[in-house]
Structure 1
Amino acid sequence: MHRNAKIYVAGHRGLVGSALVRALDRQGYKQIITRSKAQLDLRDAQAVDRFFEQEKPDYVFLAAAKVGGIAANDAYPADFIRDNLMIQTHVIEAAYRHQVQKLLFLGSTCIYPKLAPQPLQEHYLLTGELEATNEAYAIAKIAGIKMCQAYNRQYGTRFISAMPTNLYGPNDDFDLQASHVLPALIRKIDEAKELNTNVVEIWGSGAPRREFLYVDDLADACIFLMRFYEENDIINIGVGEDISIKDLALLIGEVVGYAGQFSFNKERPDGTPRKLVNVSKLTALGWKAETSLKAGIQATYDWYRQHRAGAAAR
């Protein structure tokens, strides 16, 4: 991927897409193509095809997706499966039709079975039942993986699929009705500190364990894979370590400077008991995450404090 290649980042305003743009710019790539949703609705097949015909990108990072936490996935399953199927189908087809050199499709570790052995290995895909609360989103992502693999087999394309673990970082979604657990906890704990609230309620038992990858590390991994990975099989991106939701809350409380207590509402869903990915495949290629969880939370919290009004209202 030479420095003057035309690189389209789909979803450049989101958590992952904005990190990709930062990383590409930092690494000296000169021709980064972006479009906002208002400029290009990826659910519109004809608009996507016209865009590819006009811009003729050499490389595509497919980071555009409808995403959300447990509450959003559980409440709007039709939106999650429909929008994601449309977005990825239109971009992948256009990339094939307009002879894109290489495409990276970003999935999610929620594609793996709910009760799969830990840590999650790539070959566990489609070996068991999915977590019910995000089944619609997971099925859409699995379809995207299989679509990339099918195009590679039938048309000889170079479409690769990477499965990042739980992500967080600058430009995350802090809406309590839609966000993932880490940004939601940052907001709740920060607001409790500001209001001198003694107790913060957290959904679930606090026992589930999650792995968290700082989004700028993910962006570096994606560029690395675009340059060096050519296999048809999926590849995990993560740190290889996890933490309980309870301990995560305590760590965020330490970063925020919150002196209160945490209560756990066990009537709310826990989701998957544990989700840790095996990253040996990626490590063997020569890439490893660099940002510690505490350092990443601090950077994310600093960004949230600077953008709090807008971030909380998104």
Structure 2
Amino acid sequence: MDFAAKIYVAGHRGLAGGAIVRSLQRKSFNNLLLRTHAEVDLTSQGAVDAFFAAEKPDYVFLAAAKVGGIHANNAYPAEFIRDNLAIQTNVIHSAWKHGAKKLLFLGSSCIYPKLAPQPMPESCLLTGPLEPTNEWYAVAKIAGIKMCQAYRRQYGFDAISAMPTNLYGPGDNFHLENSHVMPALIRKFHEAKERGDSEVVMWGTGTPRREFLHVDDLGDALVFLMENYSDEEFVNVGVGDDVTIRELAELIRDVVGFEGAITQDLSKPDGTPRKLMDVSRLTSLGWKARIGLRDGVRETYRWFIENQERFRR
């Protein structure tokens, strides 16, 4: 990418989008187009088309999405499939229509079958049933991958896709019910410590295994792919290692300094038993994650402490 190129980061206020912006700025890409939802409603075809017609970005990072954990996916299935389909359809089509040189679509590891082989290679997409608790989001993301492939095949549009594993880091959502497992646990342990509680309740059995990628590693990987990759096949982005939810909870308890017990709410669902990415394709291109889990959790906890007042509203 030329340093003078116009780069549009859709979803720049989100966890992933914010990391993309930080990575671009570290690499001295400063001609960034950043718009809030109030400025451009990405679910509106007319608003998106008008934005692209006026600004004509050269490169597009499509990180905007409606996201959430197990509870949110179960509670709002219509919104998860409707809003995500609308956002990606509008942005991909307008980017092609108005002459963008390249687009990167950001998906999710939940696109894979519930019982996919571990670690999950890109080739196992659409080889089995999805995890029921997030299938609405997964179906939308699969459609986004296929749309990028279709526009590449039919129109020669340089659209690529990247599928990140579970993300965490500065800017995460720490809502106790609608967030992902790591930020929810960080907040639970912190507030339990403040109150002097004797225990923290963890959802499910604690046995599912999850892979966690620091969001700044993701940002670096996506800029790397934008500059170095052009192919129809999508690319997994992860660390290639995982931990149990119980192990994660114990690590967070240690980082926060909570001295009580960890108990389980077995009425809550576990979700997919394991979701470990096969990252050999990305590794072969020359990129590897650099932020270790403990260091990443420490940094995320510091960010939460500095910003916690916004989460109490």
Identify the TM-score tier after normalising by the shorter chain. Answer: over 0.9
1:224, distance to aligned residue in structure 2 (A): 0.2
Q: How does 1:48-127 map to 2 (within 5 A)?
A: 48-127=48-127
**Equivalent position of 2:305 in the other structure:** 305
Whether 1:189 and 2:186 are equivalent positions in the alignment is no
Structure 1: distance between partners of 2:312 and 2:10: 24
Task: Give runs of aligned pairs for residues 236-275 of structure 1, distance below 5 A.
Answer: 236-275=236-275
User: C-alpha distance in 1, partners of 2:143/2:177?
Assistant: 26
1:146-165 aligned at under 5 Å gives the runs 146-165=146-165
Q: Distance in 2 between matches of 1:103 and 1:58?
A: 9
Question: Given the alignment of the two structures, is residue 136 of structure 1 paired with residue 136 of structure 2, yes or no?
Answer: yes
Q: Tell me, what secondary structure is at the counterpart of 1:42?
A: coil
Task: State the shift of 1:204 in Å.
Answer: 0.4
Residue number in structure 2 paired with 1:167? 167
In the other structure, the counterpart of 1:178 is 178
Match of 2:200 in 1: 200
The 2-side partners of 1:209 and 1:164 are apart by 16
Matched letter for residue 7 of structure 1:
I
Give 1:69's aligned amino acid. G
Deviations 1:101-134 (A, max 9, x none): 0000000000000001100000000000000000
Which whole-Å deviations, capped at 9, do the CAs of 1:170-202 have from their partners, x for residues lacking one?
A: 000001121000000000000000001111001
Aligned with 2:216: secondary structure?
A: helix
- 1:282 to 2:278 alignment: no
State the AA in 1 paired with 2:154: Q
2:223 is matched with which residue?
223
SS at match of 2:310: helix
**Cross-structure match for 1:21:** 21
Q: CA offsets per residue over residues 271-294 of structure 1, 9 Å max, x none?
A: 000000000000000000000000
Q: CA deviation at 1:312?
A: 4.6
Pairwise CA distance, 1:311: 3.5
For residues 312 and 253 of structure 2, what CA distance do their matches in structure 1 show?
18
Question: CA RMSD, aligned part only?
Answer: 0.6
Aligned 8 A contact 1:105 1:160 in 2 = yes
Count of aligned pairs: 313
| Deviation (angstroms), 1:3 | 1.1
Q: Which amino acid aligns with 1:243?
A: V
| Residues in 2 aligned to 1:4 and 1:249: alpha-carbon distance in whole angstroms | 44
Which residue type is aligned with residue 205 of structure 1?
Answer: T
- 1:2 deviates by 1.3
Q: Distance in 2 between matches of 1:30 and 1:42?
A: 23
Kindly indicate whether the alpha-carbon contact (under 8 Å) linking 1:171 and 1:311 is maintained by their aligned counterparts in 2: no
- CA deviations 1:23-59 (Å, max 9, x no partner) are 1111100201000001110001011001001111000
Equivalent position SS for 1:119? coil
Q: CA deviation at 1:13?
A: 0.4
How far apart, CA to CA, are the structure 1 residues paired with 2:193 and 2:76?
31
Matched, 1:10 2:10: yes
- How far off its partner does 1:309 sit? 1.1
For residues 27 and 253 of structure 1, the distance between their equivalents in structure 2, rounded to whole angstroms, comes to: 35
State the match for 1:294 in structure 2: 294
The letter of the residue matching 2:198 is: N
Q: Which stretches of structure 1, 4 residues or more, deviate above 6 A after TM superposition?
A: none
Q: Which residue type is aligned with residue 216 of structure 2?
A: D
TM-score normalized by structure 1?
0.99
Check whether the contact 1:174–1:312 (CA below 8 A) recurs between aligned residues. no
Question: TM-score, normalization: structure 2?
Answer: 0.99
Distance 2:172 2:312 in 1: 10
